[in-house]
Amino acid sequence: MTRVAAKTGSGLRSAFDAALIMAVGMGFGRFAFTAVYPHMVEEGVLSLHGGSLAASANYAGYLIGALLAMRMRAHDAHRLCVLSFVGTAGCLAVLAAIESIPLIIFIRGIAGVFSALAMVGASLWLLAHRGQMHRAPLLYAGVGIGIALSAELLVLGAHAGLSSQGLWLMLGVVSLAIGLAAAPGLLSKTPTAAAVACTPGLPGAAPVKPLPLIVIYGLAGFGYIITATYLPLLVKSALPDLDSAHVWAVFGVGAIGSCFVWHGAHQRFGTRLALTANLCVQAFGVVLPTLMPSTAGYLLSALLVGGTFTGTVTIAVPAAQRIVREGRGNLVAIMTVVYGVGQIVGPIVANGLFNATQTFSSSLIVAGVALLIAAVISVRAL
């Protein structure tokens, strides 16, 4: 009994450590920009066009990072995790010291590389190396934890009178502290076999076809990213009396709980049905601001999109990992690449449609359609 309890405790510790890496690399390094962006626009540091370029550069960096990680194997994943949080903290701190738009765009691109290393590294380390497939919800909840925590830190920083540069420095310091808290567990020599031995299977989660899963994942990357990039800016423009960072925190809170909800749906109904439902709900959340441009509409959109986009990852990545049992091959990295492509295209399309229509409504509708197409593929091809 004591040995089983020790293994369970070790597994939970591993999951928390991996979640912290996700919180830093994704929540802070990747998505905190969405909440700082309105402050930078208000201060004249960035324009809408410059912000779109910075967002696209970040997603391009994410793509590059995924490509770099494609040859990484599970037993080396801890190195990616450490590199990701150190690099992320450094990028955030550097943003506090620069005002040049080209440099900001460049640093956001580098931060994207480290975000991809965090996603691939933490997933491989926990799901393959530690054999903790059933801890996937906690792992991906780290993204939402990072979004919610960074958003509320930004609210506090803004109330304290910090400029956008001060906010970036604060995020850099906190992200380094979080990463250092996870480092001892990442570097420990706990035997992988013990973790694998106590990992239960997932009922109703038989291997699926890899090509449709890759296509679905790419469409999902395109579908959610417009909301994830521009939501606080849209709120600040449409509802100036509402603190947009709080809306972004709702997005993060939705992401935390969603991992457990969609993991449960995956267990009960299988990959096809769970993924289809996830994408349909996400599509509705994406287009909701065009149907209900009010405080309630934006908050519900944040909750629905935040409550599904990490759910997509929670369903799709473990499904991919089961296709390549015990880490043989790196389908997770390939999927991260196509996800990155979708995220690069998203802001470019949004910027082009905004220039033509002076509204983001058409961009949100296009994103919603992409998610519905992904849902159809899930029903018919998985």
More confident residue, 20 or 74: 20
CA angle at 232 for the pair 227 and 238, rounded to the nearest 5°? 100
At 194, the pLDDT band (50, 70, 90 cuts) reads very low
Rounded to two decimals, what is the model's pTM?
Answer: 0.82
Which tens digits make up the pLDDT trace of 68-95?
A: 887 777 778 888 899 999 999 999 999 9
Round to whole Å and give the CA distance between 275 and 231.
Answer: 24
Which tens digits make up the pLDDT trace of 228-270?
A: 888 887 887 777 877 777 888 889 999 898 889 999 999 899 9
At 209, the pLDDT band (50, 70, 90 cuts) reads confident
79, 154, 189 from 247: Cα distances, Å: 34, 12, 41
Name which CATH class applies to 2-381. Answer: mainly alpha
More confident residue, 303 or 197: 303
Q: In the chain, what are the domain boundaries?
A: 2-381
Round to whole Å and give the CA distance between 135 and 316.
Answer: 14
Question: Do residues 248 and 34 touch, judged by C-beta distance below 8 A?
Answer: yes
Round to whole Å and give the CA distance between 376 and 382.
Answer: 10
pLDDT at position 367, please?
Answer: 95
| Highest-scoring range by mean pLDDT, 159-168, 202-211, 287-296, 334-343 | 159-168
Beta strands (DSSP E) in the chain are: none
More confident residue, 62 or 90: 90
Token pair, residue 192, equals: 């992988």
Percent share of the chain, pLDDT over 90: 48
User: With 80 as the cut, is the pLDDT of residue 374 above it?
Assistant: yes
pLDDT at position 227, please?
Answer: 87
At 203, the pLDDT band (50, 70, 90 cuts) reads very low
| Highest-scoring range by mean pLDDT, 144-148, 205-209, 371-375 | 371-375
Q: Is 4 exposed, middle or buried (0-12, 13-18, 19+ CB in 10 A)?
A: exposed
In eight-state DSSP terms, residue 127 is I
Beta strands (DSSP E) in 18-128 are: none
Round to whole Å and give the CA distance between 20 and 183.
Answer: 10
pLDDT at position 6, please?
Answer: 46
Which residues have C-beta within 8 Å of that of residue 363, sequence separation ≥ 6?
Answer: 226, 349, 350, 353, 354
User: With 50 as the cut, is the pLDDT of residue 205 above it?
Assistant: no
103, 190, 211, 272 from 256: Cα distances, Å: 32, 27, 28, 22
Round to whole Å and give the CA distance between 56 and 100.
Answer: 17
Amino acid at 248: W
The crossing angle, in degrees rounded to 10, of helices 210-238 and 331-357 is: 40
